[in-house]
Each structure stands twice: as C-alpha cells, then as structure tokens.
Amino acid sequence: MNENGLVKDIMTKDVVTVDVNDRFVKIEEVFDLHDFHHIIVLDAGQVVGVISKQDLLKKYRDIRNDQLNADITLASHVMSNNPLAVDPDDNIGLVADIILANKFHALPVVEDGVLMGIVTSHDLIKYGFER
C-alpha cells in the first residue's frame, strides 16, 4: 500500500453501474447479484447519481403503497442526484473527512469526467486496520 494513502490505493476499480433510464427491476437484480450497498448511476457515461440499498428500500414502501409502479420506476427516480466525487489521487484522510462530515457511505471516484472507481466507508475501515 502506498505510504501517501491515496484513494486509488483503496478504491474498488471494477464498478458495477446502471444507466439513469434503467428500470427498478434491473436495480434490484444488480443488488441481488452483487454483495455491495451502492450503485453508481451514469447518463451518457457521466456520473449523475448513486443508489444505495436504503434508497431502494424507501422506494419499496412507495411501491407497496401504490404510489409508484416498479415496472415504470427508473433509476433517476431512486437515486441521490449529483453526488460529490473524489479524485483517485486525493488523500484518504480528505475522503474520510468528506464521508464523516456528510454521513455518506460511498463516493464515486472520477478523473477527468470518467468513473474510475468507488470508495466506501468499508474501504476506509479496512485501510485503517491494515495500517
């Protein structure tokens, strides 16, 4: 591990994403197939949102109460819009401060407008224990 403690040292590089126009059922499938808690949402390759399992659970309640239809609900209806993003060369301490101050659990890692990875509170905890 790099002594400088950079985001690129701890981020997940193989990020599973959904498109802003993907339907609710696809989001469910992605969470069912993978053991993670956040999905990055893209629109024409650009990061526009993040969907957490908690966001999904909130929409389940709306669907159960017939306020939404799972067949027509899109990622854009479920996601948190315009998430803060960090750079792969940002210091891990900065990322920890952002996550703690904003009560986030995940941040997209973007370089020159391109999604490079995701860093989560779990990554920070793991990093802390490995030091």
* Whether pTM exceeds 0.85: yes
CA atoms of 131 and 33, how far apart (whole Å): 31
Q: Is residue 31 part of a domain?
A: yes
Residue 23 lies in a domain: yes
* Helices and strands in the chain, H and E counts: 6, 6
| Number of domains present in the structure of the chain | 1
Q: What residue numbers bound the domain in which 43 lies?
A: 7-130
pLDDT at position 2: 44
CATH code of residue 54: 3.10.580.10
The answer as to whether 1 is a domain residue is no
CA-based max dimension of the chain: 52
**pLDDT tens-digit profile, the chain (131 residues):** 444 699 999 999 999 999 999 998 899 999 999 999 999 999 999 999 999 999 988 887 776 666 666 667 899 999 999 999 999 999 999 999 999 999 999 999 999 999 999 999 999 999 988 77
Relative to beta strand 114-120, strand 80-81 is unpaired
Q: Which residues does 11 contact at the CB level (< 8 Å), separation at least 6? A: 88, 109, 116, 117, 118, 119, 123
* Predicted pLDDT of residue 66: 66
Question: Is residue 11 within 8 Å of residue 109, measured between CB atoms?
Answer: yes
